[in-house]
A and B are shown apart, each in its own frame.
Chain A
Amino acid sequence: MIYLDNFRSTMVAPEVWEAMRTAAIDKYAVPAAFTQCGTGAAELIERAQNRVAAAIGASQNEVVFTGSGTEAINIALLGSAQAQVIDKPDIVTSEIEYPATLAVYRALEKEGYKAHYVKVDGEGKYDLDQLSSVLNEHTAMVSLMGVNHMIGTIEPLAEAGAIIAEASQRVGRRIPYHVDFASALQTQRLNVDAVKADLVSFSSNKIHGPKGVGALYVRKGTKIHPITFGSESYSPLVPGTPNTMGIAGFDKAVELLYATFDQDVEHMRSLMNRLAAGIRERIPHILLNGPDGVGRAASHLCYSFLFIEGEAIMMFLDMDEIVVDTGSACAAATLKPNYILMAIGRNHEQAHGSIRFTLSRYNTEADVDTALAKLVAIVERLRAQSTIRPPAQ
């Protein structure tokens, strides 16, 4: 199988699986004080906290592990909203965030919060002027993302952070700034102070770690309430027995990520350039979704193939054991075209023909070349049988 859908989820690295197996067998006790087995499990979690904290310029006790990236987002946003007492609270995000963020915002809207959805330009970059203009004394929080999962745009997190910090000064209190870094972790470095983030969410399964584990950075002093309740022996914010095996896997995944980070990013960028060049050279009538070059994540490519539909392309590739994703309405559970493609100005037809290719460090030149050759043939075939045709030259 040639797996080019790494922004959805990644393969568990063999070393990660081994670390999880060891933890499952040797560290199965609940983390606790004093006893050998309890402290052994607690130390495993502390090591993982330290690893994540060191990578983002934070302290160990500012990192907690969650049940997923989605859970981290929920804790960050709901917990932050509940911890603040603001008259007629506003909440700010963008129109192209990850579904979990948008779902939490819609839930908060039903509770009476007024939500502002910052617009983006044709490449998916935030309108920072609009962001600046909506921040005021009613703003309860801002949530933005590091890399857009559908179109690969690297968002200006630090510039947004500076705008939020300035607005915080103006209103005389800190406006909490949450960053969803799940899709960015694979290719972007992060320093929480440089970005001025108060909360950052991560997902293990985007970086060759296991599913069912996420992490949340909470800057010391940030007001946040738990949204679930239970035993607080591990963490008051994420009560209950922690997933030691999953955390051990996440820890190993982070270790591996940074062990070869720069060369892996360059490897993926080179493969992506190869794929993009091949598509541009061999397939006419295409549209690049998201920025070209350094403005997009090194492992990400999204093209619309005009006059044909994305689910059909995806299914044909799937039959050749090549895995990609599409923003077509036909492949969506809601039968709606992808909201991010619509937000950057694509029409329905352009969104229907979109295919997203997302790489990992495990992909090879042969993967890309095979996928390209199959893609060229599939696009030609589907265009030959389509009801719509390119306009006459």
Chain B
Amino acid sequence: MAIKYTAKVIEHFKSPHNIGVIENADACATEGSPACGDEITVYLKIDKATDRIEDVKFQSYGCASNIATGSIITDLAKGKTIDEAEAITWKQAADELGGLPPVKMHCSVLAVDGLRSAIRKYKKEVKGIDYDSTLDVKTVTEELKHVLWPPVGVDIITLKMVKYIGIDQGAVSVEVSIGSDDKFLDPTIDEIVEHVSKIKGVKSVSVENV
């Protein structure tokens, strides 16, 4: 099957909106990692009186869809209040681009994660709203909703691929059910580890395929 980017993805990849750095940004956050193949940094300039995003910029280490999703979420966020921007979903971002191939949906998740991280940093540092959640099964489950199963672009919780989440003094163990020779097994396990490791209080993550 031919996997193609939409014309809108190509347009945003070719001429990304809001690319660059905001000096003296009110908040800035990086999500992803070069080892995983993509990373995004989002910078925010916020009107403190109205909590409205005056300016937003991003930088990207990643593929065409990473750059395009960075471009679209910054477009979507600009001019919105921080609460409105925080509510933008990765599905919305992908839809704005006319869709993404399922295998590339995780780029949209990463872009939205970058934006939300920057907003939450601002909320914590400037507004004193603490987003540090406790390490429990619910928090891990919520985080695993950001891990998509590449063939269909749907998260592994919705697909009921996560069979068990255990937490013992900061050590998180996750059991998933994926075919042992499935080509997406290794990248999915890597992504689970990357996401769960971000949760405050996590000391180690082990993933077992059952």
Contacts and interface: CB of A to CB of B under 8 A. Distances in A.
A315 B64 contact: yes
Nearest to B186: A336
Contact of B60 (A329, A333, A335, A386): A386
Contacts of B98: none
B160 interface: no
B117 interface: no
B13 A308 contact: no
A348 B36 contact: yes
A328 B187 CA distance: 13
A31 B118 CA distance: 71
Q: Which A-B residue pairs are the 3 nearest by beta carbons?
A: A330-B63, A311-B63, A335-B187
Contacts of B35: 347-349
B63 A387 contact: no
B42 to A, nearest CB: 10
A388 interface: yes
Contact of A388 (B13, B20, B34, B150): B34
A7 B116 CA distance: 43
A328 B64 CA distance: 12
B60 A311 contact: no
A335 B13 contact: no
Contacts of A106: 181
Given A333-B183, A388-B39, 9 more contacts: A308-B61, A309-B38, A309-B62, A312-B13, A312-B62, A312-B64, A315-B5, A334-B184, A348-B34
A387 B30 contact: yes
A319 interface: yes
B128 interface: no
A348 B62 CA distance: 13
Interface of A: 106, 307-309, 311-312, 315-316, 319, 328-331, 333-337, 347-349, 352, 385-388
Contacts of A386: 59-61
A331 B63 contact: yes
B19 interface: yes
Interface of B is mostly: mixed
A308 B64 CA distance: 11
A366 B101 CA distance: 35
Nearest to B191: A335
Nearest to A347: B35
Most chain A beta-carbon neighbours within 10 Å: one of B37, B66, B67 = B37
B10 interface: yes
B13 A315 contact: yes
Contacts of B62: 309, 312, 330
A328 B37 CA distance: 8
A352 B37 CA distance: 6
Nearest to A319: B14
B103 interface: yes
Contacts of B38: 309, 330
Interface in B6-22: 10, 13-14, 16, 19-20
9 contacts: A308-B61, A309-B38, A309-B62, A309-B63, A329-B37, A352-B34, A387-B60, A388-B34, A388-B39
B41 interface: yes
B82 interface: no
Contacts of B10: 315, 319
A312 B63 contact: yes
A62 to B, nearest CB: 36
Given A334-B187, A335-B184, A352-B34, A387 B41 contact: yes
Interface string B150-176: 100000000000000000000000000
A39 to B, nearest CB: 43
B187 A307 contact: no
Contact of B187 (A312, A315, A319, A336): A336
Given A309-B38, A312-B67, A348-B36, A387 B61 contact: yes
B85 interface: no
A99 to B, nearest CB: 11
A385 B16 contact: yes
A165 B125 CA distance: 71
B45 to A, nearest CB: 18
B115 interface: no
